[in-house]
Amino acid sequence: DTAVSQTPKYLVTQMGNDKSIKCEQNLGHDTMYWYKQDSKKFLKIMFSYNNKELIINETVPNRFSPKSPDKAHLNLHINSLELGDSAVYFCASSQTDHTVRNSPLHFGNGTRLTVT
């Protein structure tokens, strides 16, 4: 059973298009994240949701909009795609209530977005 699953695995699209990446976790975690990994493997957090509420929103263009319909899902919608958006996007989840202090993140396998 895949703990954190994201789709699609690969996404190739043209500049200006709008696309979405979906993420689901079956671990019962209360917090979900989106990370962007650039070509040098550097990981940058984009968003974090706790129980469907946005708790981290780093400096990300407002073309990126996360949506959390329930605590097991966190989707990422990107409007007006640009060349610089090409990267690998990772979804992750963790349990952050006070009963599990500093629990690790569990990552999906990533979505490689290529904008042409």
Partner 1 sequence: GDSVTQMEGPVTLSEEAFLTINCTYTATGYPSLFWYVQYPGEGLQLLLKATKADDKGSNKGFEATYRKETTSFHLEKGSVQVSDSAVYFCALINDYKLSFGAGTTVTVRA
CB of 57 to partner 1, least distance (A): 14
Q: For partner 1, how many residues bind (rule: CB under 8 A)?
A: 20
**Per-residue tokens: 6:** 């994201």
Strands 64-70 and 73-78: antiparallel
Alpha-carbon gap, residue 75 to 112, rounded angstroms: 15
CB of 39 to partner 1, least distance (A): 12
Which amino acid is it at 90?
Answer: F
Exactly one of 68, 76, 96, 113 binds partner 1 (CB under 8 A); that residue is: 96
CB of 92 to partner 1, least distance (A): 8
* Touching partner 1, residues 36-95 (CB under 8 A): 40-43, 45, 90, 92
How far is residue 60 from each of residues 1, 30, 70, 81, 100, measured CA to CA in Å? 32, 23, 22, 13, 29
Q: Which residues bind partner 1 (CB under 8 A)?
A: 4, 31, 40-43, 45, 90, 92, 96, 101-110
